[in-house]
Structure 1
């Protein structure tokens, strides 16, 4: 384990908070930036984040503030854990206070609407940093389980393996095992597309469809993720690992996974607005499915599950109609 004197975690949601706990348990001093002062104050005064991780006591090495420059000042590691569609706006405000050699760690799993850029690309562009200063953390990392110290693993991907190794050491604990990888594209795409497939899985579950259907969605969902990844230059083997299959299985099978739960609301016939009101947390796949669809079309990659999720979410198509459309596609070799 390698402790860092000061780490900033920008984002006080469930995964940002759980990640701060990991860093502190590994020995680092951590400041969480929370958008709402009430969240920051609760962490400071009670040592807990009742809004996002109720009942989880955070280490004494974790503090919090709603002042982002204060959190960032002097941090050698800056962890970005905000909703993916808000990253550009937030980072534009923060870029000026980043340490000149700080490593920027992305926990976000999404593709930016409009630009179809991956989160690391948005970071490089907005913060004006070299790509080798960005490290991506992705894997089957459901925050409540990790906060409860249940064993889990993740991928730490970066083009500068030395930086990735520093992050790896800073988050190695008895319950959290990180592996390094140099395939940033694959790690990010695995994390982004699995949210969309998990929406489809949730829809199918709520419709009462069985294990054959759900196994089909996971397997074919992984196939379309890998197709897009290869077209963008990813290593296809990445999708067989933690950032691919691992993350996909966790997000589809767990009732803790917000995209799967959001999909269940849609599968019960609720509107996007009703599902949003019921889940109260960001389901990244809802917006990312639009950007992923655009990205796949731009590269000539067929992504039929993503296409149907986008139709259900944004065109008001009945989920049953979407399933029929999926099953009636022209047959072909696997």
Structure 2
């Protein structure tokens, strides 16, 4: 079997954390993978220098993951086509709103035999209320298979090599074995599950629930109230999957991509922080992004908007009161103080 080359498409804090793992693993499994890992990085200026040049000189993403050294075989490249054209494995890790344009740029230049993996937590919606998983969008545009990786994986903790689990969603056992070799570390335990749509849906929806957990924190309420948000949020996640995903497997919600990712994000993720800040500030989501994330995006509000659009088209808003309330709070149509009424009157059966 010829060695496979890897390109990481994206370079924020999660992209850089996964680049550390991949850079080390391709060296460890040198019989399977080429040693050089290209990392596509949107060019920015950092303290008067090109960010790609700083990253390649310092072997550290000084803007988005400072203090963590990247393996020297990870090379930041500002040209998307140049970075990806010879790759056998394309690892997508970027905000979901940029995926379509990115894939269109790559479309005529990648290998027909390439395999994609999406670490992206979101989905795309159409005017008729239908939605498209990001992995399916990648497959449709690039005409290649796309697997997924989702789990309780807060980027700084992964980068610091604190133990965690993740879930790899594949179509075949062969894909699972290959990707496990690429991603698994003693501190990064990978489980392979043949349920790509449910895994991916969990990754998107948990960010919305996390905003709700942050709203509870912003109101100064305690662990009991946040636990109610997690329980009711998980109920809505399961109900959403059962209604919109063919073959949705209930057991997938008990993998790292499901309940574990939900717990981690509701206690330590950036979308939890957003929910807390929305209560304490009257600024818009865009203003808060600039202040808090240094140019990166909160994915939760975008997914909340997409969910609201889908549920509105299907006349199902009343069946998903938590998702609906979180969206309305994000766009300042609802007072965060009314969030507790949503919890208090939430239906027991969806």
Partners of 1:286 and 1:249 in 2: CA distance: 18
Does structure 2 conserve the Cα–Cα contact (< 8 Å) formed by 1:111 and 1:292? no
Partners of 1:311 and 1:70 in 2: CA distance: 42
1:135 paired to 2:147: yes
Partners of 2:329 and 2:279 in 1: CA distance: 9
- 1:118 corresponding residue in structure 2: 133
**317-326 or 214-223, larger mean C-alpha shift:** 317-326
Partners of 1:116 and 1:239 in 2: CA distance: 20
- 1:45 corresponding residue in structure 2: 57
- 1:29 corresponding residue in structure 2: 36
Give deviations 1:237-257, integer Å, cap 9, x for gaps.
111220100110110111xx1
Partners of 1:250 and 1:220 in 2: CA distance: 16
Determine which of 195, 200, 209 is the counterpart of 1:188: 200
Q: 1:291 to 1:172 in 2, by over 3 A?
A: same
Q: Structure 2 length as normaliser, TM-score? A: 0.88
Q: Structure 1 length as normaliser, TM-score? A: 0.92
Does structure 1 conserve the Cα–Cα contact (< 8 Å) formed by 2:165 and 2:190? yes
Any gaps of 5 or more consecutive residues in structure 2?
Answer: 27-34, 45-49
Which secondary structure does the structure 2 equivalent of 1:203 belong to?
helix
Determine which of 199, 224, 230 is the counterpart of 1:218: 230
Partners of 1:65 and 1:81 in 2: CA distance: 15
Does structure 2 conserve the Cα–Cα contact (< 8 Å) formed by 1:26 and 1:170? yes
Q: 1:159 to 1:294 in 2, by over 3 A?
A: farther
Counterparts of residues 241-256 of structure 1 (less than 5 Å): 241-254=255-268
Determine which of 188, 209, 221 is the counterpart of 1:176: 188
Counterparts of residues 33-182 of structure 1 (less than 5 Å): 33-37=40-44, 38-114=50-126, 116-129=131-144, 133-182=145-194
Which secondary structure does the structure 1 equivalent of 2:191 belong to?
strand
1:286 paired to 2:286: no
Which secondary structure does the structure 1 equivalent of 2:123 belong to?
coil
Does structure 2 conserve the Cα–Cα contact (< 8 Å) formed by 1:113 and 1:288? no
Counterparts of residues 292-307 of structure 1 (less than 5 Å): 292-297=307-312, 300=316, 302-307=319-324
Q: 1:249 to 1:325 in 2, by over 3 A?
A: closer
Q: 1:333 to 1:177 in 2, by over 3 A?
A: closer
Any gaps of 5 or more consecutive residues in structure 1?
Answer: none
**101-110 or 37-46, larger mean C-alpha shift:** 37-46
1:202 paired to 2:214: yes
**93-102 or 296-305, larger mean C-alpha shift:** 296-305
Does structure 1 conserve the Cα–Cα contact (< 8 Å) formed by 2:213 and 2:275? yes
Give deviations 1:154-190, integer Å, cap 9, x for gaps.
1110223321321111112222111101111110111
1:125 to partner: Cα distance: 2.0
Give deviations 1:198-222, integer Å, cap 9, x for gaps.
0111111011111111001111111
1:57 to partner: Cα distance: 0.7
Partners of 2:255 and 2:310 in 1: CA distance: 23
1:287 to partner: Cα distance: 0.7
- 1:322 corresponding residue in structure 2: 339
Does structure 2 conserve the Cα–Cα contact (< 8 Å) formed by 1:158 and 1:184? yes
- 2:5 corresponding residue in structure 1: 6
Partners of 2:7 and 2:13 in 1: CA distance: 15
Partners of 1:73 and 1:83 in 2: CA distance: 21
Does structure 1 conserve the Cα–Cα contact (< 8 Å) formed by 2:116 and 2:147? yes
Partners of 1:236 and 1:252 in 2: CA distance: 21
1:151 to partner: Cα distance: 1.3
Give deviations 1:84-117, integer Å, cap 9, x for gaps.
0111111111111111111101010012244521
Which secondary structure does the structure 2 equivalent of 1:79 belong to?
strand
